[in-house]
Amino acid sequence: MSIINNYDNFFLPVDNIDQAKEFYTKKLGLGIKFDFPDKGMTAFKVGSNEPAIIVTTIKNAKLAIWFTVDNVQDAYEDLKQKGVEFLSEPFEIMTGLSVEFKDPFGNKLGLTDYSKMPKSTI
């Protein structure tokens, strides 16, 4: 049984957030889900899906796919027992906890939960 519930977000590194906004809104026609210019992140809605495409100018950012889990700490412990090597300990974000790791091929993956969000809004 998988501990992963669903996709959460797709993170794409960009050099210029304004140029990225122009491309994703004007050329692809995606709406902005949220915009945190002070954090170097803008998220774009894809249809009615909860997962978003998040572009980021954060230094050394890598393409990453995050998945939702019920509890990041539990998933972290479970996967650690199975030999998954994490890039850090679980860390807090605005909506809950997250943690990142790489697959055997160097692809960055992450887990997140919505533990700070009321159940009715998830």
Q: Give tens-digit pLDDT for 53-74.
A: 999 999 888 899 999 999 999 9
Q: Kind of pairing, strands 52-56 and 6-13? A: parallel
Q: What is the pLDDT of residue 121?
A: 53
List of domains in the chain: 6-121 (3.10.180.10)
CA distance 69 to 66: 10
Q: Give tens-digit pLDDT for 14-33.
A: 999 999 999 999 999 999 99
Q: In 10 A of CB 80, how many CB atoms?
A: 13
Q: How confident is residue 2, by pLDDT bands cut at 50, 70 and 90?
A: confident
Mean pLDDT of the chain: 92
Q: Does residue 100 contact residue 88 with C-beta atoms inside 8 Å?
A: yes
